[in-house]
Amino acid sequence: MLMSCFFNGVPCKSTNFITFESPSYGGSYAFNAMMKNLPNGGTRDSNEGGGDGILELRLYAHSHQYVPNLSDVFDIHIAVDIMIMVHDNTQLSLIDIADMASGPGRKHKLSFTRKKSYFLSLPYAKCTNQIPLAMQAMFNLFQDAYYAYSQLLCFTNCIQSYT
């Protein structure tokens, strides 16, 4: 699937990726996730090597790995896509919520801007900065990665539960 990978012009290593399972898309990969038990979390800085934080991936999806994508509600047709999500390296890869489809045979350019959200505490919301025991199982799926619990994740789960 991964034909080539460069970060700021330097070839990537397999240790720059972690694997995880998405409920919708199956086997998935995360680049530059913050890792447990490594200096600096094992992350690479955007200015590493004097670059601008450019990640170049050349991907090939075998036909049995294609993800059907409903591209338009009124004109439904199936398209072949690789799903992509750009996020902070301590944020869970919730590709079911914030993914982007990248079609084959095209060059795609994505950018990332960090935004922090703060939600009101009780009695307005039940979201805190403490991870609920029920969600610990989800975090346990990423044994080697350090993913932080956040109020935004709690809020997202509340929306999913009550809509």
For the stretch 2-55, pLDDT in tens is: 889 998 999 988 888 888 777 777 778 888 888 877 777 777 777 887 888 888
Q: What is the rounded average pLDDT of the residues 62-77?
A: 54
Assess if residue 111 is contained within a domain: no
Phi/psi region, residue 40 (left: phi>0; alpha: psi -120 to 50; beta: rest), is left
Other beta carbons less than 10 A from residue 154's beta carbon? 20
Note down the domain range covering 29.
Answer: 2-106+116-162
pTM above 0.95, yes or no: no
User: Does a structural domain hold residue 86?
Assistant: yes
Helices (H), 26-83: none
d(CA 64, CA 141): 24
* Count of structural domains, the chain: 1
The residue among 29, 37, 25 whose CA lies nearest residue 1 is 29
